[in-house]
Structure 1
Amino acid sequence: MTTENLSEEASAVLEAIDEENVDFLRLQFTDILGTVKNVSVPADQARKAFTEGIYFDGSSINGFVRIQESDMRLDPDPSTFAVLPWRTDSDSAAGRLICDVIDTSTGEPFSGDPRGVLKRAIARAEEMGYTVNVAPEPEFFLFEEDEDGRATTKTSDAGGYFDLAPKDLASDVRRDIIFGLEEMGFDIEASHHEVARGQHEINFTYDDALSTADNVATFRAVVRAIAAEHDLHATFMPKPIPRINGSGMHTHMSLFTEDGENAFHDEDDEFNLSDTAKSYLAGILEHAPAIAAVSNPTVNSYKRLVPGYEAPVYVAWSDRNRSALIRKPAARTPAASRIEARFPDPSCNPYLAFAALIHAGLDGIENGLECDDPIRENIYEFDEQKREEYGITTLPSNLGEAIDALEADDVIEDALGEHVYENFVEAKTQEYDEFRVDVSDWELDRYLEKF
C-alpha cells in the first residue's frame, strides 16, 4: 500500500495495516448522546480515507443534521489507529480509527461533532497557556444473560470492594478485558471489584483530554465486546440495581503550563493547591448544576446521585472525605497534584462532559473565582440547617432540574456550542418527559390495590 503524499503518522498506519493483516477498518465517531457509531470500509480504502475522507449520511445520526443537509465527511485521526483485539484469532484482523466529522458544505469541522466540541475547549485552554490532563475512573456492572441472550441484572459473583476469587468470580473476565485494552495501547494501572455485587473498575493512566475522551469511548466498547465473549452483559448504566451503590466516573483533572510545570501545584499551600487550581475548582462548583445535565445525562443518573450510597450530591470540596462533589486526592509528587470531580457517571458523552468541566474551570480562572474552605466533616451526616450554615447546596435531584440549570447557564451553553446545545436539550427534555408520563412497577405495587 503506497504511502506517498501522506503524513508520517498516516504512512505508519498503512504499514501497520499490512503487517497486522487488517482487512477492514472501522471509522469511528460519536453522536451527541455519546453512542459510538462507525462506518466500515475495506482496508484498501485507508489511503483514500486519509487523503479524501469518507463520506456518509449525517441525517441518520441522532442530532447531527436535517435530511436536506445530510452529506458529512469522516477524517480519520491516524494517532488513534488500533487493531481490535476480538478479531485477532482469525487469519485477518479489523482495525479502528477515530474520526473528526467535517461539514462538506463548508469544509470546516462540523459544529455538532462532540470531538470537535472538546477540541474547542482544549484550544481555549491552550490560548490561556495550559494543556489539560484527565484521568477518569469508569465503573461498570457485569450481568448474566438469559437463555435468549438478553441482559438480566443477575450477577455471577458475590464480591465486594477489592475482594478476591472465589467471591469475585468475574476476575477472569476483567483479566481478558485488561489484555484486550493493552493490545489497543492502554496502560492499565489497576483493576478491582467495586463495592456493589457485580460491579468493577479498571483504571488506566492519565493523558491529554482528547486522548482520554477517545480512550473512554474505546474502553466502553472493549468492555462490552469482551464481556459478551463470556456470555455476560457489561453495562455502564449508573444505577441498574436499586438500593446499592451505582457506577460513577470520577474524573481527575490538572493543568500544565507550556514549560511542563503542573499549574495546580503549590508547595507552600496547606493543600498543595495553587490559586489557579482553586479558581478552576471554584469554576466547576459554580457551574456544577448545569454540568450535571451533561456529565449525568440520563433519568437513571439521578438514582445514583442520592445520599447514602457514596455518590456526591453536595456542592463543596474536601481534601479528606469523599462526600463532597470535588476532592483533592493525595499526591506523591508535584506533577500528580490534581482535583477529582466525583459526580460524572459513565453514561455520559466523554467529549461533552470533559468540555463542560474544562470550560467551567477556565471560567473560574478567568474570573478569579475563590473557593470556600474545604469541608472536612462527613456532609452526609449534616442536617439541612447545618448545610445552610456552611452554604452547601446540592446538585439537581432529577434530569429535569439539571436541564433547567443548563438552560440558565451561558458558560456551559457556550461550551457545547449552539448546535450541540439545542439538540442535546431537545433530546434530554423529551427523555425526561417520557419518564414523567410513564408509570413504574414501584407505583403499581405501591398504589394499585391500596387506592
Structure 2
Amino acid sequence: MNIIKSMSAPVEGAKPKFIQLVFVDINGVPKGMEIPAERYEEAASDGIAFDGSSIPGFQGIEDSDLVFKADPSTYAEVPWEGIARVYGHIYRDGRPYPADPRGVLRSVLKRLEGEGLKVYIGPEPEFYILKKNGSWELRIPDSGGYFDLVTLDRSREVRREIAAYMRGFGLIPEVLHHEVGNAQHEIDFRYEEALKTADNIISFKYIVKAVAEMHGMYATFMPKPLHGFPGNGMHLHISLWSGEENVFTGEDGLSEKALYFMGGILKHAKALAAITNPTVNSYKRLVPGYEAPVYVSWGYRNRSALIRVPAFWGKGARIEYRCPDPSANPYLAFAAVTAAGLDGIKRRVDPEGYVEENVYEMGDEKRAALGITTLPTNLGEALEELKRDPVIRDSLAGAYDRFIGYKEREWEGYLSHLRSKGMPEDTKKVTEWELERYFYV
C-alpha cells in the first residue's frame, strides 16, 4: 500500500488549523509550540512570547521571557498531520537572542555578505533504519550494502516515500541509495545558501524519522549506533559565490580564494570538531579503518583525506569537508566552518597536509613529514581545542558559553558512567549510555 495515499490528511485545499513554531536547542534538536493558524500573522510581525528557561542551552532565569518571530520564507505544510510548521528567530528585550543557533549563523552570514559573498552548502546525511526489540538489541531489517538495489535492500520503498515528501518542505532530492552498512541509507538533496540548508537538515531529519515510524521502524542519525558497522557521516560540499560567480573556480582547478578558505578549515579543524562532531558517540565513528577521516589533510579525489576536492565542471567547483556527522547542530556547525574559512582567506592561509595516497596506510613518520596531524580522539579533547581557538569560539557568539558548559557536563556524565562500569576511558565500544542519550535524537 502506498503510505502517501493511505494516510489520513486534510481535505485537498483545506488550510491547516494549527502551525508549529520551530527553533532548535543547543544540540540542534527541534523545539517549539503550536498556535492556531489565525495567529500566524502575529507570529511573523510581533512574535509569540514563550518561556525559554528549560530549553537546553537557553537555561537561565534571564531566559524566561523570549519571543519567537516566524520567518515566512520557511513555511511548509505537514501532509500527514494536517498542520503547518515554520522556522524563525528568537528575540529577548527586542534584540536578537545571542544563544539562538539560527541567529548565530545569520550573524556570521551577514559578515560574509559584507565581503560581497555567500556560502552554499550541500549535505550528505546518512542514517540507519532499524527495528528495536524490548532492549537495546537493535534488529537490522536488511542485509544490503553500498548501492544495492533490489535483492538485499528491504527499505527502498521507505527511501522513496521520504524523497516524495521532501519537496513539500522545500528540499529537492537528488540521489537516494543504500549505504555501506546493512540498513544504512543516504539521500542527498540540492545545495542551498547556508541558512536554508541548515533549515533543510532539520526538516530532513523530521521527515525521515516520521516516515520510518509509519513503517514501524526507527531511523537514527546517531554517528555510531552499531559497533563494527560504518558510522553515519554528513559530508558537506561547500562553495563561495559572488553574485552568479562561483569564486572557488580557478583557471586550472580551485581558485586562490578557495585554497585559502580550505586552509582556514584545516588550520581550525581540531577546534571545529567540537562543533561538527559534538557528541561522545561522534568519536566512536572517527576511528581509522572506516571511511570517516581522522587525519587533517586534503587532496583531489582522495577519500581518506579530511577535505576532498571533487571533480567538477563549470560552476561546480567546491570542497567536500568529510568529518562532520548528523549529530551536529547545523546552524552552529555552518557558522563555525564559515568563520574558519573566512579566517583562512583573511590571513591567506595555505592548506597544509596535501596528499593523494591513502593516509590510513601511511606510517606515523611519513604523515609527520607531510605535516598531517590528527583530529581529537574524544569529546573532551575537542572541547579543550575549542577553548584554545578564539576564531571558532567567537563564531558561536552568545552560544559559546552555553555550548561549552552543556558539553562539559555531557562529557563528565559519560566518564562517570564508564567509571561505574569499570570501563576504560578510551573504549571504542558503543555503550548503553550513548544509545539512551543519542539514538532517538
TM-score norm. by structure 1 comes to: 0.89
Find 2:409's aligned residue among 430, 442, 449. Answer: 430
CA contact (8 A) 2:353 2:370 kept: no
Give secondary structure in 2 for the equivalent of 1:375: coil
Give secondary structure in 1 for the equivalent of 2:200: helix
Aligned partner of 2:34: which letter? S
- Following superposition of structure 1 onto structure 2, how do residues 130-279 of structure 1 map, counting pairs within 5 Å? 130-146=117-133, 152-258=137-243, 260-267=244-251, 269=252, 272-279=253-260
- 1:20 shift after superposition: 4.0
Aligned to 1:388: 368
Q: Matches of 1:249 and 1:403 in 2, distance apart?
A: 20
- 1:357 shift after superposition: 0.3
Q: Matches of 1:388 and 1:68 in 2, distance apart?
A: 49
- Range moving further from structure 2, 65-74 or 54-63: 65-74
Give secondary structure in 1 for the equivalent of 2:325: coil
- 1:54 shift after superposition: 0.7
- Following superposition of structure 1 onto structure 2, how do residues 24-173 of structure 1 map, counting pairs within 5 Å? 24-87=18-81, 93-103=82-92, 105=93, 107-146=94-133, 152-173=137-158
Q: Matches of 1:330 and 1:403 in 2, distance apart?
A: 34
CA contact (8 A) 1:86 1:226 kept: no
Cα root mean square deviation, aligned: 1.8
- 1:85 shift after superposition: 2.9
Aligned to 1:327: 308
Aligned to 2:436: none
Q: C-alpha offsets along residues 311-332 of structure 1, whole Å, 9 cap, x if unaligned?
A: 0011010102111100001112
Give secondary structure in 2 for the equivalent of 1:172: helix
CA contact (8 A) 2:283 2:379 kept: yes
- 1:68 shift after superposition: 4.2
Give secondary structure in 1 for the equivalent of 2:246: coil
Q: C-alpha offsets along residues 23-66 of structure 1, whole Å, 9 cap, x if unaligned?
A: 11000001111111011011111122122211100112112141
Aligned partner of 2:191: which letter? Y
Give secondary structure in 2 for the equivalent of 1:75: strand
CA contact (8 A) 1:296 1:347 kept: yes
CA contact (8 A) 2:353 2:371 kept: no
TM-score norm. by structure 2 comes to: 0.91
Q: Matches of 1:124 and 1:68 in 2, distance apart?
A: 28
- 1:153 shift after superposition: 2.0
CA contact (8 A) 1:151 1:233 kept: no
Give secondary structure in 2 for the equivalent of 1:251: strand
CA contact (8 A) 1:143 1:151 kept: no
Q: Matches of 1:442 and 1:166 in 2, distance apart?
A: 43
CA contact (8 A) 2:352 2:372 kept: no
Count of matched residue positions in the alignment of Structure 1 and Structure 2: 414
Q: C-alpha offsets along residues 341-375 of structure 1, whole Å, 9 cap, x if unaligned?
A: 00000000000001100000000000111123731
Stretches of structure 2 that go unaligned for 5 or more consecutive residues are: 1-10, 428-441
Aligned partner of 2:250: which letter? D
Q: Matches of 1:423 and 1:203 in 2, distance apart?
A: 31
Q: Matches of 1:247 and 1:192 in 2, distance apart?
A: 14
Aligned partner of 1:293: which letter? A
Q: Matches of 2:185 and 2:137 in 1, distance apart?
A: 17
Find 1:286's aligned residue among 261, 267, 270. Answer: 267
Identity %: 47
Aligned partner of 1:209: which letter? A
Q: Matches of 1:40 and 1:410 in 2, distance apart?
A: 38
Structure of greater Rg: 1
Q: Matches of 1:441 and 1:229 in 2, distance apart?
A: 37
Give secondary structure in 2 for the equivalent of 1:25: strand
- Following superposition of structure 1 onto structure 2, how do residues 409-424 of structure 1 map, counting pairs within 5 Å? 409-417=389-397, 419-424=398-403
Q: C-alpha offsets along residues 84-118 of structure 1, whole Å, 9 cap, x if unaligned?
A: 1322xxxxx20010011011x2x111100000111
CA contact (8 A) 2:239 2:318 kept: yes
Aligned to 2:8: none
Q: Matches of 2:84 and 2:202 in 1, distance apart?
A: 15
Aligned partner of 1:434: which letter? G
Aligned to 1:312: 293
- Range moving further from structure 2, 163-172 or 338-347: 163-172
- 1:383 shift after superposition: 1.1
Q: Matches of 2:366 and 2:269 in 1, distance apart?
A: 21
CA contact (8 A) 1:327 1:340 kept: yes
Q: Judging changes above 3 Å, is the alpha-carbon distance between structure 1 residues 151 and 108 closer, same or farther for their aligned structure 2 residues?
A: farther
